[in-house]
Structure 1
Amino acid sequence: MDNMITSFPVLEHPAPSFTTSEALEFAKLWFKEALDVSPLVSERDQNFLLTNNKSEKFVLKIANAAEPVEVLDFQNQAMNHMAKQDSSLSLPRACLSLDKKQIHRLELNGDKHFVRVVTYLRGKLLDDLPKNKRNQDLMVSMGRFLGRLDCGLSGFSHPAAGHALLWDLQQTPSLHQHLSHIKDKNNLLTAQKTLDHFQEHIASKFSLLRTQVIHNDMNPD
């Protein structure tokens, strides 16, 4: 495909490593009141939990320096769209800063970082639930939630909606370049056959299918 991924910079570039004191300074772009700041587990970005004196919680999100601001705006605009489309759905909301911006740009050691604040959703991770709680009713509820979310996004569009993601099914042909990392010959043969079959019978039909923005990363953690 024309925009086949050859690298994925946001997973290759080191995640931000700001201190809680620095995070507190960033948070002052959004809040005047005193805040408690604590780090959260992050992947390619850096996140901090903010708690004010009313026990209201927010998440300060410091983007990876390799993350395009257009992608962050795409995410924010999707949240803004859903807030209007289905306000009863429990989703994070992008917060306006004191000067009415949803994204601020900061620089440190030559790297630029875009910073946002979103509302915090209370709850438990699926991975943390005991197995007897991960029952059919919960799975059905999760499916309905995703259905409502994706229905709400059906009319949403954004210039960055088509940005390349390695786990997008349309990017499956990009995986050919990584086959050399499979050392077991039988596994390599299986992977080659699977990718070839996908390319011949599925990827060739992509242009015939309907497309829209969806949430494609519901996971247990």
Structure 2
Amino acid sequence: MDNIITSFPVLEHPAPSFTTSEASEFAKLWFKETLDISPLVSERDQNFLLTNNKEEKFVLKIANAAEPVEVLDFQNQAMNHMAKQDPSLPLPRACLSLDKKQIHRLELNGNKHFVRVVTYLRGKLLDDLPKNKRNQNLMVSMGQFLGRLDRGLFGFSHPASGYALLWDLQQTPSLYQHLSHIKDKNNLLTAQKTLDHFQEHIAPKFSLLRTQVIHNDMNPD
């Protein structure tokens, strides 16, 4: 594989730090009415929950300055595709702004940020459920959901769909550069052997497998 990651800028670059007041101004690109706005927990981007007077909720997403706009468009187009392929599947929908755009560009302190709004999905995080509720039926339901999602994405393509992602198994060779951070010799040896085994026995079989765009981050939070 030629495009092996040697760095991951969106995890190295600081997340956006806009104020609630600034985010409220950004929201006016999508909404004419006054909205309640509150910050949400984010990783590498910055998100705000928007609520209108009808109690409809949306998420304002401000991308990391290092996030390519092509990747954001890829995500939006995947949502648009799924809205047509399986409209009953509960997924966020990309929202059009007042001037019919799904992405707007803003600048702060010389950094460009791309802003989007998507619909908000009500529900509970798996992490917040009591352990006795995390049963087999729930796991089966989650698997069925992912199956429907990936089936709906079958045949979907986008110029950015080959974007190198750290969690892609094809990026396993990029982990070698991080072995130096393992201080325990036994753990280092185990990690080295595991990576070597993967490269020798697993990686050569990638070319034999079918590929398509999938959701690659089903997690409890």
| TM-score of the aligned structures, taking structure 2 as reference length | 0.99
Q: CA deviation at 1:54?
A: 0.5
Q: CA deviation at 1:93?
A: 0.1
Q: Distance in 1 between matches of 2:2 and 2:218?
A: 28
Deviations 1:87-133 (Å, cap 9, x if unpaired)? 00000000000000000000010000000000000000000000010
Q: CA deviation at 1:2?
A: 1.0
Q: Distance in 2 between matches of 1:190 and 1:14?
A: 32
Deviations 1:13-69 (Å, cap 9, x if unpaired)? 000000000000000000001100000000000000000000000000000000000
Q: CA deviation at 1:197?
A: 0.6
Deviations 1:145-187 (Å, cap 9, x if unpaired)? 0000000001100000010111110000110010000011111
Question: What SS does the corresponding residue of 1:59 show, helix, strand or coil?
Answer: strand
Q: Distance in 2 between matches of 1:54 and 1:16?
A: 29
Q: Distance in 1 between matches of 2:208 and 2:130?
A: 42
1:110 corresponding residue in structure 2: 110
Compute the RMSD of aligned alpha carbons.
Answer: 0.5
Deviations 1:176-202 (Å, cap 9, x if unpaired)? 010000011111111111101100111
Runs of 4+ in 1 over 4 A off after TM superposition: none
1:125 corresponding residue in structure 2: 125
Q: CA deviation at 1:84?
A: 0.0
Question: What SS does the corresponding residue of 1:100 show, helix, strand or coil?
Answer: coil
2:51 corresponding residue in structure 1: 51
Q: Distance in 2 between matches of 1:30 and 1:96?
A: 7
1:151 corresponding residue in structure 2: 151
Q: Distance in 2 between matches of 1:155 and 1:141?
A: 24
**Number of aligned residue pairs:** 221
> Kindly, what percent of the aligned residue pairs are identical?
93
Of the structure 1 ranges 205-214 and 70-79, higher mean CA displacement relative to structure 2 is found in 205-214
Question: What SS does the corresponding residue of 1:205 show, helix, strand or coil?
Answer: helix
Of the structure 1 ranges 1-10 and 114-123, higher mean CA displacement relative to structure 2 is found in 1-10
1:218 corresponding residue in structure 2: 218
Q: Does 1:62 align with 2:62?
A: yes
Gaps of 5+ in 1: none
Q: Distance in 1 between matches of 2:40 and 2:149?
A: 25
Gaps of 5+ in 2: none
Q: CA deviation at 1:205?
A: 1.5
Question: What SS does the corresponding residue of 1:10 show, helix, strand or coil?
Answer: helix
Q: Distance in 2 between matches of 1:28 and 1:104?
A: 12
Q: Distance in 2 between matches of 1:147 and 1:104?
A: 32
Question: What SS does the corresponding residue of 2:101 show, helix, strand or coil?
Answer: coil
Q: CA deviation at 1:75?
A: 0.2
Q: CA deviation at 1:204?
A: 1.2
Q: CA deviation at 1:208?
A: 1.6
Q: Distance in 2 between matches of 1:34 and 1:184?
A: 55
